[in-house]
Chains A and B, each alone.
Chain A
């Protein structure tokens, strides 16, 4: 692979701008040209993925690249490190799956032009968050991500959607406000050394640092759905299913998780974070979110809301790993970050298929769905088992290394929390599956039709990926290893 410095810069710029360019292009296409629009969308999503891959692989190979320019007093820079590369890689790859699924799911819906263009805009924003080289750049793309996804949340244009959209924007902008203030304070203390040259606040000594950290965690914790800042996430489930699947299970919420990890490891650094006592307090917050989220999920009847609360729980798996400040814990967080979306998106995809084909969104009325949609429910079953963290599926490895990190840090109760959470996850989804295959009601629908194939193929592909990576974790391990080496090496 060509790794010349110029080529790397071009990859980086193309990876970042593909989404935005695609969004503009889709905007210009008249609404009736559906096929052309789909082609363009897929093309730009694919190009975003390919160039993000090229960038990420070069970062893993140890060849970073940096683009920066100064405007006024601020410097804007793109400078991917392994952590950013992992996030960029996941986000841009899964974008393709969600795009293909959208073609099926959105086929007969209105407002497709706006939908696809903002879908692509948010790709750029997510990649920007991943590859940002300093705090202001991160903040810029973080805000853009909120704004670019707002039209997707209110896509249905119902009063419920509007209310959810308001909630979404209020929560996220308040969080971003906290981040902005924290960034200003950080700049005052330490200037702007960027992320790649060691922790930003290294050597700074101030009694305010604890509060600064709290401000960051609260700010990013909104998007990471850290309880009690999670309320916007279940509300945002009024969005179309591909949006819920990609953005509100993976990309947007991962931006929050990514921000937290960034702050802990790149801004404060694990030395300073350890002095501030992160690993004494914050893992407990994460652990209680893990349990509370999934317990609340148990009581939800709308399938997508159940999935949303379960997302709240699973995001804190990643935070738990990061907060242990152990190499194994961070590796576990990365493995969880990489492997969990496969299964979660499958669950959402299947929920969307059920909603499209049968019109049912409530679990209590899904009895007998499995007889009509056997393959969908088979994929759902695999994903449900994945959520519990069983071995043939890749999510096991996230859980395994998180347990390892907790135990290595002398915090074995968290290993117990993870095991308990696995069981409660099973209690969340196994009954759904059993009722679907057993129930007496058999809604009239079929597992056929053109859009069905487009919806089912991504789900099936994700299950296969999860199975393969579960059996050969070596496929995704280099990512986790690179991040761990980067921060602990």
Chain B
């Protein structure tokens, strides 16, 4: 019942608004509030031991099922919470955009879709909501309908469609290998064809990996997330990529978390770990090089999704010891949703007043936006993992997991641990850069000496002395405050939330394997109290200090203005490849046309030749053959004569017996 209300209320509201063609910002807020309450009730019900299951018994091959276990309900509650905050924020922002009504409608549709993915009980239903999410959120990306938005929209749509097809193929392959339609959260099934099963898992991983923005499937993400209006960016980065993460969690569950002895999927953990590390590094390096605040945040989403993929991958590598890693990943999903949404909302508040997201043209806004600055500080500290805020909790868990992995003696897992630390430094550096350039820098101060100085000092001063167009509405701050409160709450009591929310989820995920009679995660009892120890706090503080040094060095030396050459970026490579393919295609088409035209011409020539040849016969003519002169014989007659002659020759040579019955003419009547 709760599941129905969670899904039906936003959907119905969206349909009604679509049909009435008008909408009020109060609708998304009230809908989100109701959905949040319902999902909290659902969470309570599930955590008290009653998994909610809903079967829509339709006739035919497709029976949609919905199921909320601990993992689904935690993800759904998280989505409902962030959605509530962003809905409160939306009206203040959207009144500066054209057509806010359609934005509200698509927001409600997307809300249905995201919650539907989390609550789906089988993969086909999950795919259904996944596709709905693709379509609905596409309208976010192209909300402005300008050139940039349309291009970003194409990238977003095509990658999302590809993700949908890959998931569909995953469903087909796994169901064909195991003989049953995979249910979400039922753990690994015995497969009769390990190779096919492995391919199926690969398809799932690729599909959800695209949605999660894992390198090398991330190309769409920075464009889409920076083109959308800021509330949509907040939700895209905060929640929609978490749908990919959720899918990866479920895929890892199907692949057995490395607990079950399933052949065909041994590659899963190591590959996901490697992809996660690549995402972490590439995301953070790209983020350092951005000058646009929203693009910087978008690249950080890639980096932070890398943390999550890293956790899931390590968890799948380590088997029973992987519980800490999975807990870290799940915890980081929650934390990243909170601080990334808050960061986008903060940038949006500044954008609404200054119409600027370029970091180098902002500056010195601390005085004008004290509340925003304070809330942003919380979010920035959260994402850098400063002790006392939520990022610390999950990053510590992940760091522990990396440590456990390094202890296994595998050399590349040891490297993984080191790279993990490097990413932490990069994250700190880029957010110190963001915060410094927006809030702390003195207006007009030339903070960069790169070769691509954006503006002269005078310009910069003019930009930042721009008169404030109204003050940021209190509601927008309230929304950020809601998220910040949650961040501080988790930061102050990381153990409490870990015990209450994260550990049950991990136990559920591990226990899925128990269904098949296999081992579950061995979680150490002290996970909840393991957060505060000198070593972790100290290492984070070192990370922050090194990050600050990197940031200062980068700003002084102008490294942050470096543009990587085309061949070093995946997008550039893609463009080059596309150009090559198009060129080849054009060449091929030209060749084809040449060949086809030639064939056509020679066909025509042949036809004409034949025609005139035949026509020759048809003309009456006279001639002399030997001593016989023939006059006025047409081709028909000549042909007749020739055939007759041939018949006579044939008869003379073969002289077949004439059948009796043919001779009745000659018979005399008796």
Contacts and interface: CB of A to CB of B under 8 A. Distances in A.
B165 interface: yes
Interface string A464-489: 00000001111101100000000000
Contact of A408 (B130, B161, B176): B176
Contacts of B27: none
Contact of B158 (A299, A391, A423, A472): A423
Interface of A: 295, 299, 385, 388-392, 396-397, 399-400, 403-404, 407-408, 412, 415-416, 419, 422-423, 426-427, 430-431, 434, 437-438, 471-475, 477-478
Contact of A472 (B60, B130, B172): B60
Contacts of B172: 400, 403-404, 407, 415
A150 B175 CA distance: 47
Given A400-B168, A407-B172, A392 B61 contact: no
Contacts of B145: 437-438
B127 to A, nearest CB: 5
Contact of A474 (B60, B150, B585): B60
Contacts of A423: 158, 161-162, 165
B169 A416 contact: yes
B169 A403 contact: yes
Nearest to B169: A415
22 contacts: A390-B134, A390-B161, A391-B124, A391-B130, A391-B131, A392-B128, A392-B132, A396-B168, A403-B168, A415-B169, A415-B172, A419-B166, A423-B158, A423-B165, A426-B158, A426-B161, A434-B150, A472-B58, A472-B60, A473-B61, A474-B61, A478-B60
Interface string B630-669: 0000000000000000000000000000000000000000
Contacts of B154: 430-431, 434
A434 B173 contact: no
A231 to B, nearest CB: 11
A473 B60 contact: yes
A473 B196 contact: no
B157 interface: yes
Nearest to A438: B145
Contacts of A438: 145, 150
B61 A388 contact: no
B173 A407 contact: yes
Judged by DSSP, the binding face of A is: helix
B199 interface: yes
B538 interface: no
Contacts of B124: 391
B164 interface: yes
A431 B157 CA distance: 11
A422 B169 contact: no
A412 B142 CA distance: 35
Given A407-B196, A412-B173, A416-B169, A390 B59 contact: no
Interface of B: 58-62, 124, 127-128, 130-132, 134-135, 142, 145, 150, 153-154, 157-158, 161-162, 164-166, 168-169, 171-173, 175-176, 196, 199, 585, 589
B168 to A, nearest CB: 6
Contact of B59 (A389, A416, A431, A474): A474
Given A412-B173, A419-B166, A477 B199 contact: no
Nearest to A435: B150
B144 to A, nearest CB: 10
B258 to A, nearest CB: 25
Contact of B168 (A412, A419, A427, A478): A419
B59 to A, nearest CB: 4
A391 B127 contact: yes
B160 to A, nearest CB: 10
A477 B61 CA distance: 7
Contacts of A431: 154
Contacts of B157: 426, 430
Nearest to B165: A419
B490 to A, nearest CB: 36
Contact of B161 (A388, A473, A475): A388
User: What are the 8 closest A-B residue pairs judged by CB atoms, nearest first?
Assistant: A474-B60, A474-B59, A419-B165, A477-B60, A403-B172, A391-B131, A391-B128, A390-B131
Contacts of B131: 390-392
Contacts of B161: 388, 390, 422-423, 426
Contact of A407 (B162, B176, B589): B176
Nearest to B64: A471
Contacts of A389: 165
A426 B172 CA distance: 21
Contacts of B176: 404, 407-408
Contacts of A404: 172, 175-176
